Amino acid sequence: MTLIRQQLAQRLMIDLRHFSFDGVLKPVTQLDDNLKQLISSRGIGGVILFGENCQSAQQVRWLTDELQDASRAGALGLPLLLSIDQEGGRVVRTDRSWSTSLAGNMAIGATAAQHGDDYATAAASVIANELDALGINTVHAPCVDLNNNRDNPVINVRAFGETADLVSTLGLASCRAFASAGIAATLKHFPGHGDTATDSHTGLPLVAHSREHIERHELQPYRKIIAISPPPLVMTAHIQYPALDSSTVAGEIRPATMSRAIITGLLRDDIGYNGVVITDALDMAAIAKLMPPSQAVIEVFNAGVDIALMPLKIRDVSDFAKLDALLDRLEQALQQNELSLAEHQQSFKRIRSLKSTLKIEHSDLQTLACAEHRALELSLAQAAVTTVSGSRPEILDNSKRLLLLLPGKPLLQGLNQALAQLGGNEIEAVDISEEVVDWPERLARCDVVISGFVSPRQSAAELGGVDDLRLLDEQAVINAYQPNRLVVPLQLAQQMAKPVVYLSLRAPYDIALFGQYADWTLASYAYHVDSSEDPGASLTALAQAILGQFSPTGKLPVTVE
């Protein structure tokens, strides 16, 4: 294996979500001899882990140790970049039964008016310490997109907010906390994925703003954070920005991931970023529909990218040949000057430099979901709860009969349980994702209506990636969250003079629709349901607020009108 080929392999990061063991496709929770050989003999530079790879804390630590042993047995002897999407909130790959479940970036954004960047620092520290214990050295976070499009299906609560100043401040605090814990952070998704109404997992988004607008908004977090505390990695976005680059590839405006003007001209030369640039997953529809994997990798390398993330699927031993063919094609591209040898060597140098900073010794697994981390879960959830309009109905102090209206049984049971644990109320719980016809009778029996909604539905980013797109079609309950199923009882409650509390449980833009029917509107930005025994921190915090155990201090980090 030539040195050039070894270096090219270092520029690939693959996923091993599933693999065929003895002819049966299973989640990869440990390595067999075939996978060990794949890592060591091909010299792959990195592996990204998903939920399927993470079944328990001890198992993940064993897996990461196996991966690193296989990598160090390779010709270059370099460690792997072992990465994971662990943003907090809705994008988390570890199970909440054994790791810490934080409310996420928009919840952190809601705390900033009262607490500054304290929760951004604390949350990133917890995530980093737990990843370190698992042997994971790279995190694809923080997300510094500005969610300035209320119809964004994939970012929404993954953003700290909608303003460049807020996102820059909290993103910087997160990067510093990750660095302090020895975890390589990734700013994403450059030059910005917040102002789109298309999910790049399923299509190719376009941002039509002027260069001036993009400079004032999307680019500011990158300029500010890179100038003060440059992160080890920046992840590119599969998004068209014609004001930044209107050239075409495969008949489409060139996406940022493949744009030399954006990656080299803007990010490297103008902003001055000298770290490792990694793509978003290349199996996403925004790229996969344009061209075959080998050509996609050549395009992103020519743009100035250092690492191609998930360029092809490896699910069986027969797929090893596809990886070999990709390396063959990349070697050929260098030989034929389709790729610059000097730029390739510079990319390898950046990757090797990053790997030289990785921790070798890791913290103890007991740090996962420890008492201190669980306390932060609840503290963040409480600090995030926001009174958007109205005030707490006084009748809640004496009310015994609550009508709880929420979409989906897990969520309904979770809040029901949280309220029941904290108070002595009589609760009638109704799943609004199902047809209900006897609203007058149900409303007549209650003193107060506690209602809530979740929007938008889950994206592929939360479920894991394009492998999970089929699950989006299977989310019958989520697709049944028709607003009218909640509007009808809320209108009737208003007519019957029943006090209504409305809970926005995810992106708070639904308040524009439902808030008009409520006496008191709250936003939590999260609704984790951990288990049948534990309703989770976010629902517990909401129940505490409803029952008057604390007064919400959060502030909306986005505009909902």
Q: What is the pLDDT of residue 266?
A: 98
CA quadruple 395, 397, 401, 406: dihedral sign: positive
pLDDT attached to residue 182: 97
pLDDT at 464: 58
Rounded to the nearest integer, the mean pLDDT of the chain is 93
Return the bridge partners of 500, or none: 449
Mean pLDDT of 97-105: 94
More confident residue, 196 or 556: 556
Lowest pLDDT segment from 113-117, 440-444, 451-455: 451-455
Nearest alpha carbon to residue 311 among 319, 321, 325, 323: 323
pLDDT computed for residue 408 by the predictor: 87
Confidence grade of residue 477 (pLDDT, cut at 50, 70, 90): very low
Active-site residue 534, yes or no?
no
Taking residues 95-122, what's their average pLDDT? Answer: 96
Q: What is the mean pLDDT of residues 416-438?
A: 90
Average pLDDT for 116-126: 98
- 476, pLDDT greater than 50: no
Q: Which string of DSSP letters, residue by residue, matches 175-237? A: HHHHHHTT-EEEEEEET--SS-SS-TTTS--B----HHHHHHTTTHHHHHHHHHS--SEEEE-
Domain containing 257 — which CATH number? 3.20.20.300
Q: Is the pLDDT of residue 360 over 80?
A: yes
Mean pLDDT of 272-282: 97
Q: How confident is the model at residue 164 (pLDDT cuts 50, 70, 90)?
A: very high
485 contacts 432 by C-beta, under 8 angstroms: yes
pLDDT at 465 over 70: no
Question: What pLDDT shows up at residue 478?
Answer: 46
Do 221 and 328 belong to one domain? Answer: yes
Q: Quick check: is 373 in a domain?
A: no
Domain boundary among 312, 341, 367: 367
Q: Tell me what the mean pLDDT of segment 399-407 comes to.
A: 92
pLDDT of residue 474: 41
Paired strand residues for 401: 426
Least confident of 186-195, 201-210, 442-451, 467-476: 467-476
For residue 554, pLDDT over 60 is answered with: yes
d(CA 505, CA 95): 20
* Region 383-407 average pLDDT: 94
Does the residue 33 lie in any domain?
no
302 with 252, same domain?
Answer: yes
At 29 the pLDDT is: 98
Question: Is residue 38 one of the residues assigned to a domain?
Answer: no
Is the per-residue pLDDT at 128 higher than 90?
yes
In this prediction, residues 279-285 reach a mean pLDDT of 91
- Residue matched to tokens 């102002």: 195
User: Are 428 and 542 within one domain?
Assistant: yes
Together in a domain, 311 and 245: yes
Evaluate whether 194 touches 145 at the Cβ level (below 8 Å). Answer: yes
* CA gap 336, 321 in Å, rounded: 22
For residue 352, the model assigns a pLDDT of 98
Please tell me whether residues 392 and 363 are part of one structural domain.
Answer: no
Boundary (domain end) residue, out of 367, 394, 419: 367
265 DSSP assignment: I
Token duo for residue 473: 């079609």
Structure confidence by residue, pLDDT tens digits, 51-84: 999 999 999 999 999 999 999 999 999 999 999 9
Under the banding of pLDDT at 50, 70 and 90, the label for residue 475 is very low
Mean pLDDT (whole number) for 392-415: 92
Predicted local distance difference test score (pLDDT) of residue 531: 58
Judgement on whether residues 420 and 333 belong to the same structural domain of the protein: no
- Whether residue 77 is found in the same domain as residue 154: yes
Has residue 314 been placed in a domain? yes
Residue-wise burial string across 20-39, b where 16 or more C-beta atoms lie within 10 A, e elsewhere: eeeeeeebbeebeeebbebb
43 belongs to a structural domain: no
Tokens (6 digits) for 36: 């060990």
Q: Tens of pLDDT along 504-539?
A: 999 999 999 999 999 999 999 998 776 557 899 999
- Mean pLDDT value across residues 480-492: 84
Please give the structure tokens belonging to residue 33. 């001899």
| CA proximity to 9, closest of 44, 36, 38 | 44
Domain containing 505: what range?
A: 385-546
* Dihedral angle of Cα 206, 207, 211, 213, to the nearest 10 degrees: 180
pLDDT, position 198: 67
| Bridge partners (DSSP) listed for residue 24 | 21
> 409 and 316 in one domain?
no
Residues 183 and 299 reside in one and the same domain: yes
With 80 as the cut, is the pLDDT of residue 468 above it?
no
Q: How many domains does the chain have?
A: 2
- Look up the CATH number of the domain holding residue 443: 3.40.50.1700
pLDDT-derived band of residue 461, with 50, 70 and 90 as boundaries? low
pLDDT of 457 reads 61
Residue 41 lies in a domain: no
The reply to whether 469 and 500 lie within a common domain is: yes
Does 428 lie in the same domain as 356? no
- Percent of residues, the chain, with pLDDT higher than 90: 83
Q: Which of 367, 401, 419 is the last residue of a domain?
A: 367
Residue 560 lies in a domain: no
Task: Give pLDDT tens digits for 169-204.
Answer: 999 999 999 999 999 999 999 999 987 866 656 678
**Candidate list 280, 283, 467, 519, residue with the active-site label:** 280
Please check whether residues 297 and 427 belong to one and the same domain: no
In a domain, 333, yes or no: yes
